[in-house]
Every structure is written in structure tokens, then in C-alpha cells.
Structure 1
């Protein structure tokens, strides 16, 4: 997969990495494009939607845009009206459609969050208060805020050790990943980090 602009959330990271995807007239996804950046032919591979403009016949012309996610989810196809674009580049003419794709992916990410295992409200409130408190502390004492954040890391590593072992013993990786809103590799890495074993052992 080539380079492209993507969107993630802090909690789910690359398990749900969104982007604007491209569809060709036959409904297929185009191959990554090679952009030549120097006179010697050096360049980079990309799947950024804005390059699929059919320019010079080197790249196919996009028929539609849609939101895509690394988890396999896809949004609705949004057809491109090339007759109305005039002299505008694809990036200029279809920016509103790309924004709609991002908004649709935002809805997908929100659904992932809703489907993850629920936390007790008192824990949610405590986490909010901690975040607000550390942010406020950082305005007066950056070093104290850093120490507080580090203590949160230490507490997380200490308190999640046995839960990680229990989850590994009692639940399948598929069940764990679904409950945490992560893909299986992300869940494996999280369990390994908190349980202090190699995620690939």
C-alpha cells in the first residue's frame, strides 16, 4: 500500500486507520501510483486519492470516492462529475466529497467505540478528571504534569498485568480484539505489552 493521508483515533490507532479510497468505473480499486519527483526518475508510491486524475494517461481516472478503513469497512461510493470540474484539479474539485468521506469514517469510528466493552461510568469520570487535572497542572508546572503522566503509565502497567494474563487464558484473540475495538494484531500487541511477553510468542 502506498502513502496517503489517513485518519486515526488515539484509542484505536492503526486498527482503524481511515482514508479516502478510489473506485474505477468497473468498481475495482486502482493499483498504487508511482509519482516521479526528480528528473532522474526517483519518486514514491502513493494511493492518495488526488493523484487519480488520468493525467497524461499514466494513472487511471477515479470514478468515485469512498471512505475506507484498515479493518475492511467501506463507506458509500460518491461519484465524481468530471464534466463539472473544468480546470480545477481533482484535489480542488472533490474536496467536499473527501470531507464527506472523512465524516462518514468518523461515524464508523464512533460505532467501533460504542461496540467496545463498556467501562463503568465512575471509571470514565475518573479518567476524565485525571486528564483535565494533568492538563491544568501542565500550565503551572510542566514537570509535575510529566511526572503525573509517567505515574499513570506505571499504574497502567502494574494494574493491567493480571487482566492481560486472564484475558489470554480465558478468551480467544478474536473475542479480545472485538471487545477492545482493535484488530487481532493490535490486541496481541496490547496483551503482550501489559502481560510482559512477546506479542508473537
Structure 2
């Protein structure tokens, strides 16, 4: 079973698709953020954490939960919230959120399936690089060892700086503002795809 995770749900390689528990009111609408007055003048804190929609202190009262993703996806199923059980444990993290999480996982599977697949030999090479750099922490815990790691990072950045800008510029020219297809291929959101294109278009390495 999956219980509340305050930091949100993430999958390696698809960080922009952070998931979490969304809520619905009795009329089926999705409420906006809850605002908290911290007592410091005009400063307010906002939250979309599901356990804050309990109807207390004039907050919206949620009746059900569903999966949600930063990309805008929302789960189709609704799961009633037992507020008595939430208050009984006095710990939102102890509440079972398996239903919303399972639907978000299926959504991420779909995102991954529609993303471009890296060649197997490249996947293997990247895995070897990760593994080798990770071993260096154990093999040489000295200034020389850390210098070696930094030099390796420099070599990797040089490769990215040579390949990334050209790929980003070509994609930018061919797709113009149509970043939805690029985002889908990258397995990311449109906002993250635009940011990545801008980052690589102007990347240089000295």
C-alpha cells in the first residue's frame, strides 16, 4: 500500500511529471490553493496538499481524492476521503493513497511509452559512466580523486555543449512554437521542454 508522501511522487527521468493527491469538492470541482495567514502583514502561504482541504477554518471541504500530475493530467477515478480516519491518526502520511498513486503510475507508464527510446548501446554506455563515477567515491577519497571526478564532469559537459545546442536549434527551427510534440518525445511537460530548448540553444563550454 502507498501512504501519504509530502514531497510528491517522482520517477527518475520524468521529474517534471511530479505527481500527488488531488481533491474534489462535493460538486465535483477542483478547488484552488488553500491560503494561510502567517501573521506577518501581507505574507501568505499557499498549499495544495490534500489534507488541508478538511473544511476547518473556512477551508474548502473535499469529499474525494484522485491522482494528479504537474503536467495537468488528472485521474479518472475518485476515492472518498474518510476524514474521521485522518483525524483519528492525526497524521496524513498514515492515510492510504494507493488508488491515486496507482493511476499516476499508469499515467507515467503512458508518458514513458510515448517518449523516444534511447539506443541500447547508448543506454549501456551511460549506465557504465554512472557506475564508474559512483565507484570513484569509494576508490579515492582524496583531493586527487575529487579532481579526477571534476575532470570527468568537464569531459561530459564538453560533449553536451557540442551536441546539445545543434540539436536544440534544429528542433527549434523545425517545430517553431509547437513544443507539445517535443515535450512528448522527451517525456516531459511543455514548460520543461521549452526551458530545456532555451538552455541548450545557448549552451557553451570553455
Q: Answer whether TM exceeds 0.5 for this pair.
A: yes
Q: Tell me which residue corresponds to 2:172.
A: 168
Q: Tell me which residue corresponds to 1:51.
A: 52
The CA distance in 2 between the partners of 1:121 and 1:47, in whole Å, is 40
Q: Tell me which residue corresponds to 1:61.
A: 61
Structure 1 counterpart SS, 2:156: helix
* Deviations 1:63-120 (CA, angstroms, capped at 9, x unpaired): 1111101212112221123455563447156x212x5433432332233122101111
Q: Specify every segment of 5 or more residues in structure 2 that has no aligned partner in the other structure, as ranges.
A: 1-5, 140-144
Does the 8 Å contact 2:111/2:184 carry over to 1? no
Q: Does 1:158 align with 2:162?
A: yes
* Deviations 1:111-152 (CA, angstroms, capped at 9, x unpaired): 312210111100111111111111111222333223323321
Structure with more contact order per residue of length (Cα contacts < 8 Å, sep ≥ 6): 2
The CA distance in 1 between the partners of 2:166 and 2:41, in whole Å, is 56
Structure 2 counterpart SS, 1:87: helix
Q: Tell me which residue corresponds to 1:12.
A: 14
Q: Tell me which residue corresponds to 2:34.
A: 33
Deviation, 1:30, is 1.7
> TM-score of the superposition, structure 2-length normalised?
0.78
Deviation, 1:164, is 1.8
Q: Tell me which residue corresponds to 1:24.
A: 25
Structure 1 counterpart SS, 2:67: strand
Structure 2 counterpart SS, 1:71: coil
Does the 8 Å contact 2:86/2:92 carry over to 1? no
Structure 2 counterpart SS, 1:73: coil
Runs of 4+ aligned residues of structure 1 deviating over 6 Å after TM superposition are none
Q: Tell me which residue corresponds to 1:74.
A: 74
Q: Tell me which residue corresponds to 1:96.
A: 96
Does the 8 Å contact 1:53/1:90 carry over to 2? no
The CA distance in 2 between the partners of 1:31 and 1:65, in whole Å, is 14
Structure 2 counterpart SS, 1:68: strand
> TM-score of the superposition, structure 1-length normalised?
0.79
Q: Provide the alpha-carbon RMSD of the alignment.
A: 2.7
The CA distance in 1 between the partners of 2:62 and 2:165, in whole Å, is 48
Structure 2 counterpart SS, 1:66: strand
Deviation, 1:53, is 1.3
Deviation, 1:12, is 3.2
Structure 2 counterpart SS, 1:72: coil
Closer, same or farther in 2 for the Cα pair 1:46/1:125, shift >3 Å?
A: same
Q: Tell me which residue corresponds to 1:110.
A: 109
